[in-house]
Each structure stands twice: as C-alpha cells, then as structure tokens.
Amino acid sequence: MRTKKITPWLYIGPATFFLFFFLVYPLINTIYISFFNYNSEIFIGIKNYVYCFTNEVMLNSFRNNALWVIVFVPLTVVLGLIIAVLVDRVKYESIVKSIIFMPMAISFVGAGVIWKFVYAYRPASAAQIGILNALRSFFNSEPIPWLIERPWLNNLCLIMVGVWISTGFCVVILSASYKGIPRELLEAARVDGATEFKIFWKIILPLMKPTIAVVTTAMIISILKVFDIVYVMTNGSFNTDVIANRMYKEMFVFGNYGRASSIAVILLVLVVPMIIINIQRFREQEAIR
Amino acid sequence: MIKKLVSMFSHGPLHLIIIVIALMWILPSVGLLITSFRSSADVAASGWWTVFEHPFNFTCYTLKNYQEVIFKIGIGRAFLNTLLITIPAIIIPILIASFAAYAFAWMEFPGRRFLFVILVGLLVVPLQMTLIPVLRIFNKLGIAGTFPGIWLAHTGYGLPLIIYLLYNFISGLPSELFDSSAIDGATPFQIFVKIVMPLSLTALASVTIFEFLWVWNDFLIALLYLGGTADVAPLTVRISALVGSYGQGWELLTAAAFVSMALPLVLFLGLQRYFVKGILAGSVKG
C-alpha cells in the first residue's frame, strides 16, 4: 500500500515508544547494572555472577528450576498429546476439553490456593480436610506434609500445580494439529492392518513433530520464569526456591539491585536459545508467505 | 464383526481414562467452590466431599464467608481495583497495537522487517529483565503505586504479543481490498477504520480475552509496581497476602479465591472459541 513517507511512523510510533521504554531500554540497563553493587554506584565486575554460581541457596534454586524443566515440560507436552488424541475419539470431547482448559482462566495465585487446599495436612489424629491426605487415610496410610517433605516431594507437588494449569494450553495446540491430519491417511493405514499403536508412532507423531516443537519451546519459556506458584504456596521454604523468586527477594527484600539484575540476566541467557528459535521460525513462515 | 469387538474392548478403558483425567482436573476446583460455601466449623471438622453424603441437605451452606471476605477483609475493594487496572490495560495496548499491526502488515517503510524481528524476539524476554529499570523510572516520575503506572506497564508488556497476533490476522487479509480502496481514493486511515478494523473483529476478540486474562491474573507486575496497600492492591496481591495471614482459614481463602476466579471463568467459558483461535494464531500459523 502506498503512503506518505511519514505515515507508517505515525502508526508504529506509539508502539515503538512503549516497546523501547518498557522492554528494550530496561533490558540493556539491567545487563549494565548487573555489573554494579547493590545500589548501582560501584562497578564490581562479575562479582554478582560469581555469587549466583557459588552461593548455596542460588545453586539450590538452579537445581529446582532444572527439576521444573525436566519434569514439567515432558509431562505437559506428553499429557497434552495423549489427551488431544484420546478425546478426539469420544462424543463428549468439548466438555472434557473445557474442563482441562479451565485452569488457564485462573490466576496462579488462585491455583495456589486451590492446590494448597488439596495438599492440606493435619496430624494423623485429626480429620484430614485435604483430599490427598484423606485418600491416604482412607487406605490407612499416614498423612504426608506434601509441601514440606523435601527434597523431591514438595517440589514435585508444586510442579503438579503448574502441570494442572498449563496442560490445557498444550491440548489446544496439539489437538488442532491432530485434527489437521487427513483422516484418510489413518484409515488407509488401518486398512493395511497397522495397529493403533503403530499408527500413532509411525504416522501421527512424525506429522505432529513441528507442533510438538512449538509447544515444547513455549512450555520451557514459561516455566523458566516460574514465580507465582512458588511465592504463594511455599515462598521458597523447605528447599523449593526458584531463580525468579530469588530475583524478587534480592530486589525487594534485600534491596540488592546488582544481584537481582544478574539473576535476571541469567534467566535471559537461558531463554536466548528460545528467542533464536522463535525468530528463525518466524523467518521461515515469512518466506512461505 | 472383529472390528466391533475390538472397539468395544478398546473403548471401555478409553472412557475410563478420559473420565479419570477430567475428574483429576476438576475436583480441586470443586473442592474450592464447596468449601467457600461451608461454615468454618464444618470446614475444620470434615472434608468438603462429605457434603455428598447428604446431597439434598442445603442447610449446611452459607454465604457468610463471602460477606466476610468482600466487606471485612477487603476483597470487594480489591475486586474493584482489579477492574480499574484491567479495563484501561486492555483498551490502551489493543488500540496502539492495532495501528502498529496494520502498518507492519500493509505499509512499506525502511527497517520494517528488522523492527518486526526485534518484536518477535521481545515476545519471550523474561519480564524480570525489565523490573528494576522500570521501577526506578516509575519512582522518579512518581507513578509507582498508581493505576496509570500499571496501565502503562501492562501496555508495554502486552504489546509484543498483541501486535504479533493482530499482524498475523491483518496481513492475511486479501490485498485486493487495499488496492481497490486506494483506487477509490480512501486514505490509509479510512481503510484502517472502515475496512481493516471491522474485518478484524474476531482477532480483536481473541486478543481482548488474552489481555484480559493476562492482566486480571497478573501477580508479579502488580506486586512490584503497585504494592500491597488496600486502595490499589488487586485481587491476586490481596489473596497472596491472605494466604500468609489466614493460612488455616480455608473457608475465607477459598471464598476470596473464588471471587477472583468467577469473572475470568465466565468470560473464558463463554469466549473459549476466540481464546483457542488466539492461541493457535500465536503459535502455529493458521
């Protein structure tokens, strides 16, 4: 479309201003102040980063983040895939999907309350009001303090909350991709005597690979920054801290802006591969256009 | 014949698996809802599932928890705050993004591709990278802890995704539309208002529900830029504070949480179609 030279800039001007002011400038500034002391007055080189990679609490948070990625990402993607393929075969598909999408409408804080109640713990002598411990006492097992039991159980319990919230997102995308596979293809394979299992591995999975990659990167990006769930449910106690919560604490509780910035930069570096993948994918799409 | 037998055998477990998954997904929320209507004595004495032992005994339900959280514990005010934050924080970015997406899709200017690639990169930059500099600027300008501050912040943070989604849609409109309108002498602005916007209503609905859920459910940005004082704190910030102070008052916590969830749930279930469209447009190009 032909326009005067100035016109496009009027249209993208406000957006460019906001993007620069709230994203580009802060990004550069955060990298800069990560090399300074707590109030950004004295240059201290890489000291903040040395702290991040030597301090026991920080290292523990990195381990927890790694656990989040290792458990959360495959679980959401695989569950999403299984649910997408299974519900396609039943008539009440849309109801089941709505139920699984529903947590996406809820805040992480709300989800934190919901699940804290699921994990509620009381001593064995009292009536259990959390459904998980009630189930355990029904089977005559001791109640478990789910959110306190370290080092694995409490972290896994927090991760499950994330899975509960995010699986719906995976189902949305994977289900659309699955429905895009020509039915004749699957029918032809069935006629040729392929088992459902084989059809899944040899036809469905390869065809859905690009979409699975998209969903996987989206899950990795979202979970590296996990904050709300941990903040609300344990606030990092009992070895459940994660780097985003450490950053918040350095910034708001300890007022150490240098350290907080270096944690943010580390978070960014972890996400950079995903940014590159996204841009490459965008370029490919534009090339097709 | 064999096929039918096979499908009978294979479908029993299928239904079972699906129903178990659906139950796992919905039971936690059901527990929250039921608990929010029970008296504190009942909640402390027995699990929420025990109400199903007397399914027709409606006397065990009460609205007292809602009265208390809304009027005494400040959840009513927090609801209002969330609303006051959310509405402008939806309108401003979508307005700005519509103009930008239109220009990116249909106007030629130097640096267009470069700028858009940067925008795609910004889509996934962790917000943590921006918190300290923005907060410092806000403090200097005196807008930390105010609604205008958080409206601007949500605008900045929401723009990349909104522009991206609208761009995907608007750039897919047929080019004849623009050619013929231009021949008829319509200015770019007239084309934008009279043709592009009306045709983009579905896409606008998608981004509206997205931005609504994002802002309504936001916790981190509100916590940092607004803080916890009662006259500005939104539901999420208020509830997270309650979790600390009312740790065992489940009947109150659940009622407060449900107040925060009711509106997004209704909108989400009603507009699910647009939400799904938005997700698909943002990830796999449709």
Residue A35: inside a domain: no
How close A121 comes to chain B (CA, Å)?
10
How close A49 comes to chain B (CA, Å)?
15
Rama region for A27: left / alpha / beta (φ>0; ψ in -120 to 50; rest): alpha
A276: Cα within 13 Å, side-chain hemisphere: 6
Q: Which of A87, A129, A282 sits opposite B120 (nearest CB)?
A: A282
Does the distance separating the beta carbons of B117 and A107 come in below 8 Å?
no
Q: Which of A1, A26, A274 sits opposite B124 (nearest CB)?
A: A274
User: Which chain B residue is nearest to residue A128, measuring alpha carbons?
Assistant: B47
User: Which chain A residue is nearest to residue B172, measuring alpha carbons?
Assistant: A289
Residue A229: inside a domain: yes
The confidence score (pLDDT) of residue B243 equals 87
The confidence score (pLDDT) of residue B7 equals 63
Tokens 């804080």 sit on residue: A109
Answer yes or no: is pLDDT of B213 > 60.
Answer: yes
**A36: which strand partners?**
A43
The confidence score (pLDDT) of residue B197 equals 92
Residue A118: inside a domain: no
The confidence score (pLDDT) of residue A231 equals 93
DSSP 8-state secondary structure symbol assigned to residue A129: -
Mean pLDDT score, B280-285: 62
A36 SS3 class = strand
Amino acid of residue A207 = L
With CA atoms as reference, report the closest residue to B120 among B103, B101, B139, B106.
Answer: B101
Q: Which of A227-236, B142-151, B183-192, B249-258 has the lowest mean pLDDT?
A: B183-192
Query: How buried is A240 (Cβ within 10 angstroms: 0-12 exposed, 13-18 middle, 19+ buried)?
Result: buried
Does the distance separating the beta carbons of A12 and B104 come in below 8 Å?
yes
User: Which chain A residue is nearest to residue B267, measuring alpha carbons?
Assistant: A105
* C-alpha B268 chain-centroid distance: 8
Residue pair A80/A171 in contact (Cβ under 8 Å)? The answer is yes
B157–A contact, CB cutoff 8 A: yes
Q: Which residue has the higher pLDDT, A77 or B180?
A: A77
Answer yes or no: is pLDDT of B177 > 80.
Answer: yes
Size of interface A-B (CB pairs under 8 A): 298
Provide, as residue numbers in chain A, all residues whose Cβ is less than 8 Å from the Cβ of B260: 107, 109-110
Mean pLDDT score, B226-248: 87
Residue A74: inside a domain: yes
Provide, as residue numbers in chain A, all residues whose Cβ is less than 8 Å from the Cβ of B131: 26, 247, 251, 260, 264
pLDDT, tens digit only, all 289 positions of chain A: 777 888 899 999 999 999 999 999 999 999 999 999 998 899 998 999 999 999 999 999 999 999 999 999 999 999 999 999 999 888 888 899 999 999 999 999 999 999 999 998 888 888 888 889 888 888 888 888 988 887 789 999 999 999 999 999 999 999 999 998 998 888 888 888 888 888 888 889 999 998 999 899 999 999 999 999 999 999 888 999 999 999 999 998 999 999 999 999 999 999 999 888 888 888 887 777 6
| Overall number of domains in chain A | 1
* C-alpha B89 chain-centroid distance: 12
- Res. B285 pLDDT band, cuts 50 70 90: very low
The confidence score (pLDDT) of residue B4 equals 61
B268–A contact, CB cutoff 8 A: yes
The confidence score (pLDDT) of residue A285 equals 79
For residues B94 and B79, give the distance between their C-alpha atoms in angstroms, rounded to a whole number. Answer: 23
For residues B188 and B167, give the distance between their C-alpha atoms in angstroms, rounded to a whole number. Answer: 16
Angle among Cα A78, A84, A89 to the nearest 5 degrees reads 135
Residue A6: inside a domain: no
Provide φ and ψ at A43, rounded to 5°.
Answer: -70, 125
How close B249 comes to chain A (CA, Å)?
10
pLDDT, tens only, B102-156: 999 999 899 999 999 999 889 889 999 999 999 999 999 999 999 999 999 999 9
The confidence score (pLDDT) of residue B82 equals 96
SS (H, E, C) chain B: CHHHHHHHHHHHHHHHHHHHHHHHHHHHHHHHHHHHCECHHHHHHCCHHHHHHCCCCHHHECCHHHHHHHHHCCHHHHHHHHHHHHHHHHHHHHHHHHHHHHHHHHCCCCCHHHHHHHHHHHCCCCHHHCHHHHHHHHHHHCCCCCHHHHHHHHHHHHHHHHHHHHHHHHCCCCHHHHHHHHHCCCCHHHHHHHHHHHHCHHHHHHHHHHHHHHHHHCCHHHHHHCCCCCCCCCHHHHHHHHHHHCCCCHHHHHHHHHHHHHHHHHHHHHCHHHHHHHHHHHHCCC
Residue A70: inside a domain: yes
pLDDT, tens only, B21-74: 999 999 999 999 999 999 888 888 888 888 888 877 777 888 999 998 999 989
Mean pLDDT score, B182-188: 83
Query: Which tokens is B171 given?
Result: 């750039």
pTM of the model: 0.91
Helix spans in chain A (H): 7-19, 25-33, 47-54, 56-87, 93-101, 108-118, 131-138, 153-179, 183-191, 196-199, 205-224, 228-233, 243-248, 257-288
CATH number of domain containing A93: 1.10.3720.10
Best of A2, A5, A17, A22 to mutate (most B CBs within 10 Å, chain B): A22
Residue A189: inside a domain: yes
With CA atoms as reference, report the closest residue to B94 among B154, B140, B168, B19.
Answer: B154
Residue pair B166/B197 in contact (Cβ under 8 Å)? The answer is no
How close A241 comes to chain B (CA, Å)?
16
How close A77 comes to chain B (CA, Å)?
14
Provide, as residue numbers in chain B, all residues whose Cβ is less than 8 Å from the Cβ of A15: 96-97, 99-100, 159, 163
Amino acid of residue B143 = I
Residue A64: inside a domain: yes
Query: Which tokens is B213 given?
Result: 């859920």
Mean pLDDT score, B91-105: 95
For residues A88 and B11, give the distance between their C-alpha atoms in angstroms, rounded to a whole number. Answer: 12
Residue range of the domain that includes A284: 54-107+149-288
Does the distance separating the beta carbons of A131 and B47 come in below 8 Å?
yes
Mean pLDDT score, B228-241: 91
- Count the residues in chain B: 286
The confidence score (pLDDT) of residue B284 equals 44
Does the distance separating the beta carbons of B26 and A23 come in below 8 Å?
no
CA-based Rg of chain A, rounded to a whole angstrom?
24
B181–A contact, CB cutoff 8 A: no
